[in-house]
């Protein structure tokens, strides 16, 4: 039976790319534990922030549509508005998760030689 650590993706050696990195201690394998840390740093703020924004956007859309006596469903308008507001929110939190320093690593984007 394979363990999570043995099932990890091993990053390829990229000596050309390493020349452009200011300080590389060593490349770490992408383990499920590290994946879960990055996922959690992204998931919980998006979920909570999306719920809060969705709640207020839905309430606002419902009030405006009810006052305007529109034929549009308040539920559909609220869900649409909340979804549209959730997109930039999720991008913001993805950027934050990529910039974060984790317990034993940080994510760094490295330019590839072409």
Residue 51 to residue 74: CA distance in whole angstroms = 17
Choose between 90 and 6: higher pLDDT.
90
Best CA proximity match to 80, nearest among 59, 58, 63, 60: 58
1-24 pLDDT per residue, tens: 444 454 455 555 555 455 555 555
Q: How many CA atoms lie less than 13 Å away from 58 in the CB half-sphere?
A: 12
At residue 21, the pLDDT reads: 52
Least confident of 17-31, 41-55, 91-105: 17-31
Contact 47, 72 (CB under 8 A): no
Mean of pLDDT values over 57-73:
83
CA–CA distance, 107 with 94 (Å, rounded to integer): 12
The span from the CA of 99 to the CA of 79, in Å, is: 30
Of residues 79 and 35, more confidently modeled: 35
Q: Is the pTM of this model over 0.85?
A: no
């Amino acid at each position: 039976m394979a363990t999570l650590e043995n099932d990890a993706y091993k990053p390829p050696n990229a000596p050309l790319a390493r020349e452009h990195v200011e300080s590389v201690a060593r490349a770490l394998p992408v383990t499920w534990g590290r994946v879960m840390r990055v996922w959690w740093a992204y998931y919980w703020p998006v979920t909570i922030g999306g719920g809060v924004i969705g709640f207020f956007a839905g309430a606002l859309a419902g009030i405006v549509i009810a006052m305007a006596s529109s034929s549009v469903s308040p539920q559909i308008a609220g869900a649409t508005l909340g979804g549209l507001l959730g997109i930039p929110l999720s991008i913001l939190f993805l950027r934050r998760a990529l910039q974060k320093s984790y317990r034993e690593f940080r994510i760094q984007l490295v330019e590839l030689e072409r």
